[in-house]
Amino acid sequence: MTTPIGIHDLSLATTGYVLDLADLAAATGVDPDKYRIGLGQDEMSVPGPDEDIVTMGAAAALPILERHGRDRIRTLFFATESGVDQSKSAAVFAHRLLELPAACRAVELKQACYAATAALQAGIGIVARNPGEQVLVIASDIARYEVDTAAEPTQGAGAVAFLVSADPALVEIEPVVGVDTADVDDFWRPNDSVTAVVDGKLSIDAYLDGFTAAWDDYRARGGADIDAIGRFCHHQPFTRMAAKAHRRLAEHTGVDLPADRYETSTAYNRRMGNSYTASLYAGLAALLDGDDNLAGRRIGFLSYGSGSVSEFFTGVVGPDYREHRRGAQAQLDAREPVSVARYRELHAAAHLGSTHDVEIAPETRTRFHFAGIRGRARRYRS
């Protein structure tokens, strides 16, 4: 019998600030229902000047290390598309903040929102070879578009960390997966831009096409019948996208799929906004925290990263998952509201550059702080 491997623990962190999308709607003359109902978004997390993907990622991972220790972790994968350096991985910064052992590999992975799933699968491979080891995965991103665009209300920020381990307490990941790669210009971020370039309508079609292709590949490789999948967790750039994905799967398979099979997974993303690589796993966090009938159930996951790579995979929830709830809701409730003017100020200041030394004072209540630039290098405070 092969050793079960999967997600043993999972933890979410987000920013110190939050913008109510009703305020953004009022400021831009948009009907607030367009955001609340049309996009399925209520709020978006806004990073303070002392926050970035490293501070959020380390904050997400720390509780996992406090619960399980550091001794068995020999790999840290950091999945992001908001990289802070072209060469040094965000994993190395996080490795130091988290006081992980020196005998540990630390690597960053990128493919739009998809990379955390690549990290999960690579982590499973490492644990399969050495079942005594654990792999720490951090998915952390800041979604930034130009202001006054249709994409502005779909921004957000957040991080999810998870521990890949043998005999996992939360979700055993099953071996059959379906994958699809297609070169499409639906969304990308050039090296000289802090905001993404997006063809919104094309991105929705590319997501849905990637989903059906990954699903077909999953089935062709012997994946479970749709009736054997009790819940779905779809990538959520905005939560109405999960509804579109769910509807597409129902049409594609010809099977009635009630909305209650995915809806619980949207609770955190509605409030956090798009967290790119972390978004799918924030969906899993919401599902595990909000659904009392998951023990032994199979969840179907659709991971999509623009550009594009899609993967459909499944996991079976452990019998005692309810003992492992982590109260991510408290993280969302702890954010301090900001005005539209303050959010726009923070947005405009996001590109710091590296040519001048800058000292950033601690401002938000985050556990780790970005401290600024010295000698062209990024500095952090614990």
Active site residues: 81, 113, 235
Nearer CB in complex with ligand HMG: 44/316: 44
Give yes or no for residue 281 binding ligand HMG (CB under 6 A): no
Give yes or no for residue 25 binding ligand HMG (CB under 6 A): no
Q: How far apart are CA 206 and CA 200, in angstroms?
A: 10
Provide Rg for the chain, Cα atoms.
19
Give yes or no for residue 269 binding ligand HMG (CB under 6 A): no
Give yes or no for residue 204 binding ligand HMG (CB under 6 A): yes
Q: Give the per-residue contact string, 142-161, with ligand HMG (x = CB under 6 A; - = no).
A: --------xx--x-------
Nearest approach in angstroms of CB 323 to ligand HMG is 32
Give yes or no for residue 126 binding ligand HMG (CB under 6 A): no
Q: How far apart are CA 169 and CA 317, in angstroms?
A: 8
Nearer CB in complex with ligand HMG: 208/338: 208
Residue nearest to ligand HMG (CB): 38
Tokens of 167: 């005999």
Which among 196, 286, 360, 263 is positioned nearest to 14, based on CA atoms?
286
Cα–Cα distance list, 350 to 44, 258, 359, 368 (Å): 16, 41, 14, 18
Site size toward ligand HMG, by CB under 6 A: 28
Give yes or no for residue 304 binding ligand HMG (CB under 6 A): yes
- The correct pick among 26, 31, 220, 325 for binding ligand HMG (CB under 6 A) is 31
Nearer CB in complex with ligand HMG: 209/216: 209
- The correct pick among 265, 306, 310, 366 for binding ligand HMG (CB under 6 A) is 306
Nearer CB in complex with ligand HMG: 235/344: 235
- The correct pick among 79, 124, 198, 272 for binding ligand HMG (CB under 6 A) is 198
Give yes or no for residue 115 binding ligand HMG (CB under 6 A): no
- The correct pick among 26, 28, 33, 325 for binding ligand HMG (CB under 6 A) is 33
Nearest approach in angstroms of CB 212 to ligand HMG is 14
Give yes or no for residue 17 binding ligand HMG (CB under 6 A): no
Q: How far apart are CA 190 and CA 173, in angstroms?
A: 34
Give yes or no for residue 83 binding ligand HMG (CB under 6 A): no
Give yes or no for residue 239 binding ligand HMG (CB under 6 A): no
- The correct pick among 75, 203, 266, 366 for binding ligand HMG (CB under 6 A) is 203
Instruction: Tell me the three-class secondary structure of the chain, residue by residue.
Output: CCCCEEEEEEEEECCCEEEEHHHHHHHHCCCHHHHHHHHCCCEEEECCCCCCHHHHHHHHHHHHHHHHCCCCEEEEEEECCCCCCCCCCHHHHHHHHCCCCCCCEEEEECECECHHHHHHHHHHHHHHHCCCCEEEEEEEEEECCCCCCCCHHHCEEEEEEEEEEECCCCEEEEEEEEEEECCCCCEECCCCCCCCEECHHHHHHHHHHHHHHHHHHHHHCCCCCHHHCCEEEECCCCHHHHHHHHHHHHHHHCCCCCHHHCHHHHCCHHHHECCHHHHHHHHHHHHHHHCCCCCCCEEEEEEEECCCEEEEEEEEECCCHHHHCCCHHHHHHCCEECCHHHHHHHHHCCCCCCCCCEECCCCCCCCCEEEEEECCEEEEEC
Nearest approach in angstroms of CB 62 to ligand HMG is 25
Give yes or no for residue 305 binding ligand HMG (CB under 6 A): yes
Give yes or no for residue 241 binding ligand HMG (CB under 6 A): yes
Nearest approach in angstroms of CB 194 to ligand HMG is 14
Q: Give the per-residue contact string, 206-235, with ligand HMG (x = CB under 6 A; - = no).
A: -x---------------------------x
Residues making contact with ligand HMG (CB under 6 A): 31, 33-34, 37-39, 81, 112-113, 150-151, 154, 187, 198, 200-201, 203-204, 207, 235, 237-238, 241, 274, 276, 304-306
